[in-house]
């Protein structure tokens, strides 16, 4: 069964950017995430719907320019 959520690394590969770029997107509110587990070190997961929405609207290109 395929997961409905992707890791930061998987999302970075999809968009062709560094993992830190995705982390900045999360911290600045461009990507909605869930955290798996409890505590500060629990990993983020990004829903496939959120990725599709960003990809479709090309918000990510604007976000990428702001971060560079």
* pLDDT digits 0-9 by tens, 11-54: 999 888 899 999 998 888 888 888 887 877 778 899 998 888 87
The per-residue pLDDT for 12 is 92
Which stretch of 3-12, 21-30, 52-61 has the lowest confidence by average pLDDT? 52-61
pTM: 0.72
Q: Please, what is the end-to-end C-alpha distance for the chain in angstroms?
A: 37
The per-residue pLDDT for 58 is 62
For residue 42, the enclosing domain spans 5-67
Q: In b/e form, how buried is each residue of 41-53, taking b as 16+ CB within 10 angstroms? A: eeebbbbeebbee
What's the number of domains the chain is made of?
1
* Residues 68, 56: Cα–Cα separation, whole Å: 21
């Amino acid at each position: 069964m395929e997961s409905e959520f992707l890791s930061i690394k998987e999302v970075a590969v999809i968009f062709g950017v560094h993992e830190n770029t995705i982390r900045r997107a999360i911290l600045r509110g461009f990507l909605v995430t869930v955290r798996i587990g409890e505590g500060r070190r629990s990993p983020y997961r990004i829903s496939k719907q959120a990725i599709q929405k960003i990809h479709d609207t090309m918000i990510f290109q604007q976000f990428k320019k702001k971060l560079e």
